Amino acid sequence: MTKVWIQAFRLRTLPLALACIGMAGFLAAAAGKFNPLLFALCCLTTVLLQILSNLANDYGDSINGADHIGRKGPQRAVQSGTITANQMRNAVILFALLSLVCGLFLLWTAFGTDWQALLLFLGLGLLSIAAAVGYTVGKKPYGYIGLGDISVLIFFGIVGVMGSYYLFTQHITWQEMLPALSCGLFSIAVLNVNNIRDIESDKAAGKYSIPVRIGKEKAVTYHWFLLIAGLVSAIGYTLLNYNSPWQFLFLATVPLLVRNGIAVSKKPSHQLDPFLKQMALSSLIFVVLFGLGLLIALE
pLDDT exceeds cutoff 80 at 73: no
Tens digits of residue pLDDT in 250-269: 999 999 999 999 999 999 98
Mean per-residue pLDDT of the chain:
88
Q: What is the DSSP letter of 209?
A: -
Q: Are 165 and 177 in contact (CB under 8 A)?
A: no
pLDDT given at position 68: 46
Residue 273 has pLDDT above 70, yes or no: yes
What is the percent of the chain where pLDDT is above 90? 59
Cut 0.75: pTM above it: yes
Residue/partner pairs of 28-32 with CB below 8 Å, 24 or more apart? 28/165, 28/168, 28/169, 29/291, 29/294, 29/295, 30/291, 30/294, 30/295, 30/298, 31/168, 31/169
pLDDT at 167: 94
Q: What pLDDT score was predicted for residue 64? A: 60
State the amino acid at position 50 in one-letter form: Q
Please say whether the dihedral angle defined by the alpha carbons of residues 29, 250, 178 and 161, taken in this order, is positive or negative.
negative
pLDDT score of 240: 95
For 163-180, write each residue's pLDDT tens digit: 999 999 999 999 999 999
pLDDT in tens, 125-146: 898 888 888 777 767 778 778 8
Q: What pLDDT digit, counting tens, does each position of 42-65 carry?
A: 999 999 999 998 888 887 777 765
Listed range (1-10, 193-202, 218-227, 283-292) with the worst mean pLDDT: 1-10
**Per mean pLDDT, which range of 23-32, 56-65, 69-78 is the poorest?**
69-78
